[in-house]
Amino acid sequence: MTRLRGRTVLVAGGRVSGLATVPPLQDLGAHVLVTDSDSGAVAKAETLGARGILQDDLLANPASFDDIALVVTSPGLRVDSPVLAAAAGRGIPIWGDIELSWRIDRAGLYGPPTQWLVVTGTNGKTTTTSMVASILESAGIESAACGNIGLPVLDALRRDPHPAALAVELSSFQLFWAPSVRPEAGVVLNIAEDHLDWHGGMDGYVRAKAGALTGRVAVVGLDDARAASLASDSPAERVVGFRLGEPSVGELGVVGSDLVDRAFAEHTSLISVDDVHPAGPAGVMDALAAAAVTRAIGIAPDTVADGLRSYQVGPHRNAVVRTVAGVTFVDDSKATNPHAARSSLLAYDRIVWIAGGLLKGAAVDELVAEVAPRLAAALVMGRDGTQIAEAVARHAPDVPVVTFSTGDDADVTRVAEDADVVMQAVVREAARRAEPGDTVLLAPAAASLDMFVDYGHRGRSFADAVSALTDSDVVDGGEQS
């Protein structure tokens, strides 16, 4: 890290993760240059004391790369993006913000190196990471939940007092750009089709996820075939599994009504299934994973139980918004891929399903075929909504489908007020289609960025539209349908 002193580091991407790298790089003595396609992001970087340059201007002048010693990229940029391709062509090293965070932490720039507890998977990352953070808090360990969960790792490392442990949620993008990370314990919860367009297919996506299993203890979800298959290739000192069924030696699982540890103890009950929130199989799996990575660093069973009991479910994760005239409206906007949507779709008997957005190369036929008997209606929107509508037509031909357009669904950057207008229309139609006892479920099975700022905006838009409903919107609608 000392070799960066007096050298120029290019930060590719001036959003949250990119801007978080500026002060640490300056603390290392580097000259920081930030590039972005948005002039507002460049201006924000300049307020931090960095130099800024628009991406087009940088690329128009190849000599701009001559003095650059390192590129730190925002995780979402692909290898073939123009700035990274130009840097790679000149042999300039490229690190992700997580790689930089790891190296700064190992170098002790802000204090003694911390214990990283890394969580990844297609579904359940944020819930598991939050559970880990809750357990660390119960143990009285100075810590933070960070990474893909919202708080940049570098911001967490710069906190006073300095954290002794971090609950780090990492996406496949972040792991791809962070090859040096060796967590104290890391878990791969599950692996299903997601971000295949970014990784060039399933093999690349799986390889990126496996980066969480390169530290001292590797934890894998045994009920997921792809995650379980990573156990044999992990270089970790110890591999631990977890499952919903009865655990073997070296595993965590469920015996009767209790979560049980047979990996770090002979046979120790941790907590009752009834005390785990969110309820249901997905919540229990996340709790088992959180218990495994925290037991791996020696946290006592009673403390693990206390942390799991005190955990509060976050917004947009299968959260009940309101019940109107006997119809329950549920926000699972965080279900940004088919695998994530499956958990909530299987939790209700009869559903008016709100879906659609960016599928990112994922297929939905298997999901639709499985949940078809539960569907009362499907309301689809967004760029790839038509693919979901066609899958419903194939596998549930008797289920009515209503498609909502934003005008130009091919425009992936369409984030505008009309997204909220469309959501209002979708929710009103869902109320019209629902009957007392039904669940109107926002479980998009797709990303939000074609219409909304993020999944949080999508969930808030849904909740606002539900709040505007009256009993007559459901009762009158039910009589018409």
Residue positions forming the annotated binding site for ATP: 121-127
- Cα dihedral: 120, 123, 129, 130 (round 10): 170
On whether the CB atoms of residues 422 and 409 are closer than 8 A, the answer is: no
**464/443 Cα distance (integer angstroms):** 16
Token pair 């946290």 is found at 299
Q: Could you give phi then psi for residue 420, rounded to 5 degrees?
A: -70, -35
The C-alpha atoms of residue 346 and residue 373 are separated, in whole angstroms, by 10
> What interhelical angle do 417-433 and 471-480 show, nearest 10?
60
Pairing of strands 94-96, 319-324: unpaired
Helix (H) or strand (E) holding 252: strand 251-255
Tokens of 269: 């009950």
Please give the annotated binding residues, written as ranges: 121-127
Q: How far apart are CA 199 and CA 206, in angstroms?
A: 9
SS3 assignment, position 161: coil
In 311-416, alpha helices (H): 338-345, 365-371, 385-395
Measured at the alpha carbon of residue 380, what is the angle toward residues 377 and 381, in degrees to the nearest 5? 160
Contact between 318 and 330 (Cβ < 8 Å): yes
- CB neighbour burial string for 133-164, b if at least 16 within 10 angstroms, e if fewer: bbbbbbbebebbbbbbbebbbbbbbbeeebbb
- For residue 113, give the nearest of 67, 22, 53, 180 by alpha carbon: 180
User: Distance (Å, rounded) from C-alpha 111 to C-alpha 162?
Assistant: 6
Strand ranges of the sheet holding 68-73, from the earlier edge strand across to the other edge: 51-54, 31-36, 8-12, 68-73, 94-96
| Cβ neighbours of residue 369 closer than 8 Å, sequence gap 6 or more | 395
CB atoms within 10 A of CB 252: 26
The closest alpha carbon to 432, from 382, 376, 350, belongs to: 376
Distance, CA of 7 to CA of 33 (rounded, Å): 11
